[in-house]
A = this chain, B = another copy of it.
Amino acid sequence: MKSIIISIGDELLIGQVVNTNASWLANELNAIGISVLRIMTIGDSKEEIVKSLQLSETEADIILITGGLGPTKDDITKRTLTEYFDTHLVINKEVLKQIEALFALRGWGKAVTEINRKQAEVPANCLAINNPCGTAPAMWFEKNDKVYISLPGVPFEMEAIMEKEILPMLSKRISGNFICQKTILTQGVGESFLSEIISDWEDQLPAMLSLAYLPQPGMVRLRLTAKGSDETALKSLLEAELRKLQQIIPQYIWGYDHDTLEAVVGKLLLQKHATLATAESCTGGYVSHLITSVAGSSAYFMGGVISYDNRVKLAQLKVSPETLLKYGAVSKETVEEMAKGVQQLMKTDYAIAVSGIAGPDGGTVNKPIGTIWIAIATPNNIVSKCFLHGEHRGRNIRKAALSALNMLREELIC
């Protein structure tokens, strides 16, 4: 089964909105065995929509269309599909009821407006699928054995409809072809060197398996893909090759697939019944944000101090004035005192401390932009390390936070 995704919206072509919908859809479709042949991103233009549909229906079995279903005048997808399938609009009572219920639930305090009532009109030949989070329903069309699915462009509405309705419906249509994938998450090694270390293993991979390198700031991900008709055979082939790889680079692998370092660390803390606090300078709260983005993190995360100003390092974290004066804020000595300080202040088992120069200003000859000191305080020890990242503020913050979480992970598993 092959699919093509058509993402509609002028905002995508002028770069004001990143097309996260297409990635989300691609990921979910692959997971149920539907490969994505192409993603076409086009504007709110009737001509472009028709051209993309015509091109796609010659190549794909399933065409997913997102966007252009809003209540405002620039949204033309529904009108265009109605013409394309040579049909007319009818009021769908179920959808109208859902829109009324949504207005009542959200307490928007007003009756359903005329513009929102129009959202309940759908092409006569489609199956309308309720949108639990918004006013635009999804629409399922079938023609010449092809399926066309039109979805709203607001990400969480689209995701909710896909998860609750469309993916189960698509799963039923599938037969035969499977894709198994495993993504191996590594840290501490660059793409080129990693590629040399695993070159022999890569060369001996069976033809049904392929490998891709997906570098990101702070990590390299390796994606292993197996394609074929026998799901069980594919899975064991994948597992066997994965086990070989784990033998070659155990020190670099920290997780798989959608694992995040913050969730991996959270799980380890839960297992140990251990608690954590943070003391952040250059990362400015980003380490804590990652940690608390994990649901249930209140079970192990007590809190943190963002000591952006040196006075906060002195007063709240009890870094000694002599240390700050002698070694500076970005130093092994200061970052270790920060970690110990917050560990004692919040009475936790573990603490993370980060102090560095994120840029674009503040660098010196001895401590250039990108210099980051990280310390991890454990129940009976303290470890610290210096990293030299690049010149980009946002990437330095992200890399520093990932390095800090990885250092904590290493302490938790040893």
Determine how close the nearest CB of chain B comes to the CB of A203; give it in whole angstroms: 9
Task: Tell me the complex Cα distance, A72–B190, Å.
Answer: 12
27 CB contacts below 8 A, A to B, read A13-B38, A14-B181, A15-B25, A15-B28, A16-B23, A19-B23, A19-B39, A37-B42, A38-B42, A70-B191, A70-B213, A74-B210, A115-B192, A115-B196, A280-B285, A283-B289, A284-B292, A285-B291, A289-B397, A293-B393, A302-B311, A303-B306, A304-B305, A304-B306, A309-B346, A316-B316, A316-B345
**Could you list 10 further interchain pairs (A-B, Cβ under 8 angstroms) beyond the known A14-B181, A285-B289, A312-B346?**
A13-B36, A14-B36, A15-B23, A15-B25, A16-B183, A19-B22, A74-B211, A286-B292, A298-B309, A305-B306
Known: A212-B11, A289-B286. A303 touches B298 (CB 8 A): no
Q: Does A305 contact B302, Cβ atoms closer than 8 Å?
A: no
Closest B residue to A36 by CB, please name it: B13
Q: Does B14 contact A30, Cβ atoms closer than 8 Å?
A: yes
| Range for the number of chain A residues in contact with chain B | 35 or more
Interface-centre pick from A17, A25, A291 (highest chain B CB count, 10 A): A17
Interface of A is mostly: mixed
Q: Does A394 contact B23, Cβ atoms closer than 8 Å?
A: no
- The reply on A166 being an interface residue by CB < 8 A is no
Q: Which residues of B contact A73 (CB under 8 A)?
A: 202, 211
Closest B residue to A133 by CB, please name it: B390
Q: Does A306 contact B309, Cβ atoms closer than 8 Å?
A: no
Task: Tell me the complex Cα distance, A316–B11, Å.
Answer: 45
Closest B residue to A292 by CB, please name it: B284
Known: A10-B212, A359-B295. A392 touches B285 (CB 8 A): no
Each complex incorporates copies of this chain amounting to 2
A196-214 residues with Cβ-Cβ distance < 8 A to B are: 196, 202, 210-214
Query: A interface vs B, CB < 8 Å?
Result: 10-20, 22-30, 35-44, 48, 70-74, 108, 110, 113, 115-116, 133, 135, 154, 156, 181, 183, 190-193, 195-196, 202, 210-217, 221, 223, 225, 278, 280, 283-289, 291-293, 295-298, 301-309, 311-312, 315-316, 345-347, 359-361, 390, 392-395, 397
Q: Does A12 contact B23, Cβ atoms closer than 8 Å?
A: yes
Q: Does B26 contact A74, Cβ atoms closer than 8 Å?
A: no
Q: Does B303 contact A308, Cβ atoms closer than 8 Å?
A: yes
Q: Which residues of B contact A397 (CB under 8 A)?
A: 289, 292-293
Q: Does A39 contact B16, Cβ atoms closer than 8 Å?
A: no
Task: Tell me the complex Cα distance, A180–B393, Å.
Answer: 30
Q: Does A309 contact B303, Cβ atoms closer than 8 Å?
A: yes
Q: Which residues of B contact A15 (CB under 8 A)?
A: 22-30, 36
Q: Which residues of B contact A216 (CB under 8 A)?
A: 17
Task: Tell me the complex Cα distance, A255–B79, Å.
Answer: 33
Q: Does A191 contact B18, Cβ atoms closer than 8 Å?
A: no
Q: Which residues of B contact A12 (CB under 8 A)?
A: 23, 26, 39
